Amino acid sequence: MKNMEPQDITLTVNGRNHEIKVVPRRLLVDALREDLRLTGTHVGCEHGVCGACTVLVDGRPQRACLTYAIQMEGHEVATIESVDHEGRLSVLQQALHEEHGLQCWFCTPGIVMTFEAFLRQNPAPDEEAIREALSGNLCRCTGYQNIVKAIQKAAARMRPEQI
Ligand code: FES
Ligand code: FES
């Protein structure tokens, strides 16, 4: 079928344009990892449950395993590779490190992307709001306690009065 043939698209990822050829059913997560070699975005369940594949699309968290690459033309995708600042961990990454908010780190890129967006929208979240937002990202190692502590620490450091 003609409409299933590979098509040339431009993916804008972390501020750079990439011209790639994809079949329409090519998933964004596969295009990121295999075509662009941006392997920081992980693939877990592949059906929208675990959150490991979370990236930002136009600043909002989105499951890259439920998104076709071809849908991303005209949109800005941000991956975990965009989060550090010239090799320095982001405030949230640093807090996760300090609070031992990761073990195997398989879930971590998705959590970081979810909360980079969340903390911009919610600079002073209470614990309930953090846990509600975290419910979309599964972690099999940590028990979540230290992740929550890390997010609280990052939120406190990111609030304007801390600068
Ligand atoms: S791999 Fe996408 S939500 Fe699990
Ligand atoms: S640190 Fe292992 S899954 Fe979260």
Ligand 2: nearest atom to the Cα of 103: 1
Kindly provide the b/e burial profile for residues 37-61, where b requires at least 16 CB atoms within 10 angstroms of the residue's own CB.
ebebbbbbeeeeebbbbbbbbeeeb
9-34 pLDDT per residue, tens:
999 999 999 999 999 999 999 999 99
149 located within any domain:
yes
Full-model pTM: 0.94
- Which ligand is nearest the CA of 101, by number? 2
Q: 62 lies in which domain range?
A: 2-82
What is the pairing mode between strands 54-57 and 60-63?
Answer: antiparallel
- pLDDT tens-place string over residues 56-106: 999 999 999 999 999 999 999 999 999 998 899 999 999 999 999 999 999
At 61 the three-state DSSP class reads strand
Going by C-beta distance under 8 Å and a sequence separation of 6 or more, which residues neighbour residue 146? 99, 100, 101
- What is the distance between the alpha carbons of residues 148 and 154, in angstroms, rounded to a whole number? 10
Q: Which of 30, 32, 42, 50 to mutate to test the pocket of ligand 1 (most atoms within 8 A of CB)?
A: 50
Residues 95 and 154 in one domain: yes
Residue nearest to ligand 1 atom 3, measured at CA: 48
The atom of ligand 2 lying closest to the CA of 140 is 3
Gap from CA of 10 to ligand 2 centroid (Å): 33
**Domain boundary at 55, 82, 109, which?**
82
Confidence check: pLDDT of 163 > 50: no
Considering only CA atoms, which of 31, 28, 14, 44 is closest in space to residue 107? 44
**Residue 17 token pair:** 């344009």
Number of domains present in the structure of the chain: 2
Instruction: Tell me the CATH number at 10.
Output: 3.10.20.30
